[in-house]
Amino acid sequence: MTQSTIIINFKTYAESTGENAVKLAKICDDVAKETGADIRVAVQAVDVFRIAKEVSIPVYGQHCDDITAGAHTGFILPEALKEAGAKGSLVNHSEHKIPHDKVEAVVKRLKELGLATCICAVDDDEASKVDVFNPDFVAVEPPELIGGNISVSTARPELIKHSVDSVKNSKLLVGAGVKNANDVRIGLQLGAHGVLLASGITKAKDPRAVLLDLVSGTK
């Protein structure tokens, strides 16, 4: 059986920015070491460098641009993400969508640099369209459930099933509202490889306890 993957998206929550992001990433790192789970963190580009120095789990950026070195003020250069210590990047998150031709181009650039890619999709239809770019992961997250308390596993199990059929080249992650072991268990039982989540960890009073619970859902 292949090992499931849990990616924690730190977004731009105060609880997961700057020094708080380092603390949270260290908790994720500790839990990964203790349990052997495959836990990765997707952090703000400005936090990649300091976090990558402190943890051994893979650190991803949350976005990357299809640019080459030169005059592109404010954009994120794939090479810079790599040099900062990132091992991969999310692309096309529903809070940072880009046209599919750009998704294809940036995934190609990231792959050339040996960086992992996780393309987000809002549904199974978009998932099948981005799966052809051969990323490592496709993460399906219904936008209306993002940041809420009802998980994709509870509210949209059929979306997970359809996404399993749509994603042929990549590992399928599911997300939105994922908070506990049961959410993870259902997603995996329906055929997903893992989960992508944010607020369940970033806003938790005890992120370590929640993370341990999520990991128990993968066993």
> Which residues are tagged catalytic?
93, 141
Residue nearest to ligand G3P (CB): 199
Residue 147 burial (10 A CB sphere; 0-12, 13-18, 19+): middle
- Contact code string over 80-109 relative to ligand G3P, x by CB under 6 A: -------------x----------------
Residue whose CB is less far from ligand G3P, 20 or 79: 20
Residue with tokens 């997970």: 160
Q: Where are the beta strands (DSSP E) in the chain?
A: 5-9, 38-43, 59-61, 88-91, 116-121, 137-140, 171-175, 194-197
Neighbouring CB atoms inside 10 A of 174's CB total: 33
The answer to the question of residue 187 lying near ligand G3P (CB under 6 A) is no
Binding residues for ligand G3P restricted to 7-26, rule: CB under 6 A: 9
How far apart CA 108 and CA 105 sit, in angstroms, is 5
Give the one residue of 78, 142, 175, 194 binding ligand G3P; rule: CB under 6 A: 175
Are 52 and 20 in contact, with CB atoms under 8 Å apart?
no
In terms of CB distance, is 79 or 123 closer to ligand G3P? Answer: 123
Is 199 an interacting residue with respect to ligand G3P (CB under 6 A)? yes
Q: Which two tokens stand for residue 148?
A: 């809420």
Round to whole Å and give the CA distance between 24 and 208. 9
Which residue, 128 or 180, has its beta carbon nearer to ligand G3P?
180
Single out the residue of 2, 3, 8, 1 nearest to residue 211, CA to CA.
Answer: 8
Q: How far is the CB of 149 from ligand G3P (least distance, A)?
A: 9
In terms of CB distance, is 147 or 191 closer to ligand G3P?
147
C-beta of 52: minimal distance to ligand G3P in Å?
Answer: 19
Binding site for ligand G3P (CB under 6 A): 9, 93, 141, 146-147, 175-178, 196-200
